[in-house]
C-alpha cells in the first residue's frame, strides 16, 4: 500500500470505484467552481498566462545552455501544455522525477533520511505552485516521482533505506503543510512485489536497449553529458572499492548505462500514468526540449542535489549545497528531532 500522502494511479479513463464517498451537501455548496467555470476561453489570454508561468520558472531554470538568455518563447512545448490546462480551467500538473534516496557516501551526506536540504527544496517547489496560483487561480500541483528503487541496486543503496527515505519524504510534506505536493513511487504501480521483480518488470517494458543507449551517447551531446555526469556521481558515491582507480571507473561507466536505461524507463512509466502533465527535471536541460530543468537550491555545481550533499546556512541567510565534509570545515552541525539536519556558519 502506498505511504500516506502518495497519489495512487489508475488508468486515465478508469471510473470512480463504486461506493466512493461524496462530499457533504454543505461542502458541495461551498466548493470551488467547476473547471469549466474557471476556463480561459480567449486563446490570447491563455497564452499570456502560460507565458507568465514560464516567467516564474525561468529564474530557477537548470540549464545545459547557460549562454542562452532564455525567454518564455524558447519553450513552445511547455507553453502548449500549460495552455491546455488553462483553457480547460484545470490546475496545472507538474511531474518531477527525483528525490530517490541519500548518497551512500558519508563524506557527502548526513545520513540515510531526508534532512534540511529536502525540506527547503520541497518548500521551494510548493512555493512555486503557490506563486502560480496568484497568476492563475486554479493553481498548480506537483507530483514528486521518487525513483530510488528503479536503480537502487546500481547505486548500491539498500532497498530498506530507500523505503525509509520515501516514507519520511511523504511525512515531511504532511508535517510542513505542503498542500501542493504529493509523492509517487513504484509502490503506487506494483504494490508490494519484491523490489528486484519491480525493477525487472519496469526495465523489460519501458527501458531502451543497451545498444540504442550507447549509440545515443556517441551522437547526442545531451545524452553524453548525462552519461558523464552520472558516471562521475557513481565514482564519487562508491565506498569500499578495493580495486584500482581505472577499474572503478570502468565499473561506474558500465553502471551509468544501467542508471540511464532505468531512468528513461521510469520517465516513460510516469508519462503513461500521468500523460497530462508538464515534465520537470533535476538535470540541466536545453531550452525547447520536453523537460524543463529546475534548480532546487543554490550550489556551485549544477548537478548537485540535496540527496548528494548537505546544506550550509550562510551568515547572510543563503542556503548552499556542499559536500558534508566540506560544510563541516566551515560550519557547526545542527540537529533537529535528534537527527543531523544541516550546518550553520557562526
At residue 227, does pLDDT exceed 60? yes
Is residue 1 a part of any domain in this protein? no
Total domains in the fold of the chain? 1
Residue 137 confidence class, pLDDT cut points 50, 70, 90: very high
Q: Angle 7-9-13 (CA atoms, 0-180°, nearest 5)?
A: 135
C-alpha distances (whole Å) from 334 to each of 58, 156, 194, 344 are 32, 28, 37, 7
Residue of 328 and 7 predicted with greater confidence = 328
- pLDDT, residue 36, reads 60
Q: Grid coordinates in use for 125?
A: 517547489
Nearest in space to 115 (alpha carbons), one of 54, 169, 185: 169
The burial of 337, by beta-carbon neighbours within 10 Å (0-12 exposed, 13-18 middle, 19 or more buried), is given as exposed
Is residue 28 a part of any domain in this protein? no
Q: What percent of the chain has pLDDT over 90?
A: 77
Is residue 2 a part of any domain in this protein? no
Could you tell me which residues come within 8 angstroms of residue 130 by beta carbon, excluding any fewer than 6 positions away?
139, 180
Is residue 190 a part of any domain in this protein? yes
Is residue 8 a part of any domain in this protein? no
Q: Which residue has the cell 512555493?
A: 127
- Range of the structural domain that residue 160 is part of: 39-344
At residue 341, does pLDDT exceed 90? yes
Contact between residue 328 and residue 343 where contact means Cβ atoms under 8 Å apart: yes
pLDDT mean across residues, the chain: 88
Is residue 27 a part of any domain in this protein? no
Sign, CA dihedral 145-146-152-155, equals positive
Q: What percent of the chain has pLDDT over 70?
A: 89
Is residue 191 a part of any domain in this protein? yes
Is residue 51 a part of any domain in this protein? yes
Identify each DSSP E strand in the chain by its residue range.
Answer: 92-98, 140-146, 181-184, 278-281, 292-293, 310-313, 319-322, 332-336, 339-344
Amino acid at each position: 500500500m502506498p505511504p500516506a500522502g502518495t497519489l495512487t494511479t489508475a488508468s486515465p479513463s478508469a471510473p470512480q470505484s463504486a461506493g466512493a464517498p461524496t462530499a457533504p451537501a454543505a461542502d458541495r455548496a461551498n466548493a470551488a467552481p467547476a473547471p469549466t467555470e474557471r476556463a480561459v476561453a480567449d486563446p490570447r489570454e491563455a497564452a499570456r498566462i502560460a507565458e507568465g508561468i514560464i516567467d516564474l520558472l525561468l529564474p530557477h531554470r537548470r540549464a545545459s545552455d547557460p549562454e542562452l538568455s532564455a525567454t518564455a518563447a524558447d519553450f513552445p512545448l511547455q507553453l502548449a501544455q500549460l495552455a491546455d490546462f488553462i483553457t480547460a480551467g484545470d490546475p496545472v500538473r507538474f511531474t518531477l522525477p527525483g528525490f530517490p534516496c541519500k548518497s551512500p557516501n558519508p563524506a557527502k551526506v548526513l545520513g540515510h533520511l531526508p534532512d534540511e536540504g529536502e525540506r527547503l527544496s520541497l518548500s521551494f517547489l510548493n512555493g512555486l505552485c503557490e506563486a502560480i496560483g496568484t497568476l492563475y487561480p486554479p493553481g498548480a500541483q506537483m507530483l514528486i516521482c521518487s525513483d530510488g528503487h528503479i536503480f537502487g541496486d546500481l547505486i548500491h543503496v539498500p532497498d530498506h533505506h530507500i523505503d525509509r527515505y520515501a516514507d519520511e519524504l511523504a511525512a515531511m510534506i504532511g508535517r510542513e503543510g505542503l498542500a501542493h505536493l504529493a509523492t509517487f513511487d513504484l509502490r503506487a504501480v506494483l504494490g508490494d512485489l519484491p523490489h528486484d521483480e519491480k525493477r525487472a518488470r519496469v526495465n523489460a517494458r519501458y527501458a531502451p536497449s543497451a545498444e540504442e543507449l550507447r549509440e545515443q551517447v556517441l551522437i547526442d551531446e545531451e545524452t553524453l553529458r548525462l552519461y558523464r555526469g552520472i558516471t562521475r556521481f557513481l565514482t564519487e558515491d562508491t565506498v569500499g572499492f578495493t580495486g584500482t582507480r581505472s577499474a572503478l571507473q570502468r565499473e561506474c561507466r558500465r553502471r551509468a548505462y544501467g542508471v540511464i536505461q532505468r531512468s528513461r524507463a521510469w520517465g516513460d512509466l510516469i508519462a503513461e500514468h500521468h500523460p497530462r502533465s508538464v515534465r520537470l527535471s533535476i538535470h540541466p536541460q536545453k531550452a525547447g526540449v520536453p523537460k524543463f530543468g529546475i534548480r532546487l537550491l543554490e550550489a556551485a555545481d549544477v548537478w548537485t542535489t540535496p540527496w548528494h550533499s548537505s546544506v550550509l546556512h550562510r551568515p547572510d541567510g543563503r542556503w548552499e549545497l556542499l559536500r558534508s565534509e566540506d560544510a563541516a570545515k566551515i560550519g557547526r552541525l545542527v540537529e533537529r528531532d535528534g537527527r543531523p539536519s544541516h550546518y550553520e556558519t557562526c
